Amino acid sequence: VDHQRADWVSIHKQICQLLIPIQPSLPRLLSDKERNHGMEQLLRRQKYIAELAFSTAQSFVAGGQHAEAIPAALQALRFGTRAYGSASLCLLPAYLLLAEASTGVGHLQQASKYLSQAQWIVLSTPDCSAALQGKLHRSLGLLRAAEGNLEEALYHLATDIYLTSSTFGPKSIEASGGYFHMANVFCHQKKMDIANSLYAEV
C-alpha cells in the first residue's frame, strides 16, 4: 500500500490516462500505412511519458524529495527504454537521476547499480559527448563521497570539472557544480584553505 501511494503521489496520477491507449501490438487487419501511423503515435506517446516522468523526478530531487523522485525516475527509464532501446544514451539522464535519488535516501548499493549501467552505456557509445561523461563522473563522485571514499570522490569530481570545462569553459555555470561538490569533500577532509578557494571559484 505504501509503495502504491508513493507511486501515485510521485508520477502515476499524471500519466494514468496516458497509459490507457498504449498497447504492445496493433491488430493484424490494419494496412501497412495504418500500422506505421499507429507505431509512430505509440513511439511519440512513450517519449512524451518518459520526458514528463523525468522532469517530474527532477523537480522532486531539486526539492530534496528523493523518495518521491524514484517512482517517477523509474517510469522515465521504463518508457525511455521502450522508445529508444536499452543501450541508448537517451537513458543516461534517467540512470543518473535514479542514482542521485537512491543516494539521497541512503540506498547506496542501488545507486551503484544504476551508475554501473550508466557507465556501460557510456563505454559502449564511442561518440558520447564530454558533457555527458562529465555528468557521469559527477554522479560517481557524489556516490563515492556518500560512501566515505573521499579520495576516489575527488578523482571523479576533478574528471567532471575537466570534461565539463573542455565543453563549456572553466568559468562556466556547468562547471561550477563540480567545484562546489569538490569543495564539500575538502571540507570533510578539514582542508579548509582548498575548500574556501573552490567555494570562491563557484
Q: Which of 162, 163, 161, 145 is nearest to 153 (CA)?
A: 145
Q: Is 16 exposed, middle or buried (0-12, 13-18, 19+ CB in 10 A)?
A: exposed
Task: Write down the domain spans for the chain.
Answer: 1-90
**How confident is the prediction for the chain on average, in pLDDT?**
88
The alpha-carbon radius of gyration of the chain (Å, integer) is 20
Q: Measure the CA–CA gap between 121 and 64, rounded to whole angstroms.
A: 27
The predicted structure's pLDDT at residue 170: 87
| 36-60 as b/e: b if 16+ CB within 10 A | eeeeeebeebbbebbebbbebbbeb
Q: Measure the CA–CA gap between 61 and 167, rounded to whole angstroms.
A: 25
Distances (CA, A) of 83 to 21, 39, 77, 93, 178: 15, 11, 10, 15, 31
Residue 202, SS3 per DSSP = coil
Per-residue model confidence as pLDDT tens digits over 53-98? 999 999 999 999 999 999 999 999 999 999 999 999 999 999 999 9
Q: Give me the average pLDDT of each 10-residue run along the chain (202 residues).
A: 52 60 56 76 89 93 93 93 93 96 96 97 93 96 96 97 94 94 96 95 92
Q: How many CB atoms lie within 10 A of CB 148?
A: 10
Q: Measure the CA–CA gap between 39 and 26, rounded to whole angstroms.
A: 8
The predicted structure's pLDDT at residue 27: 58
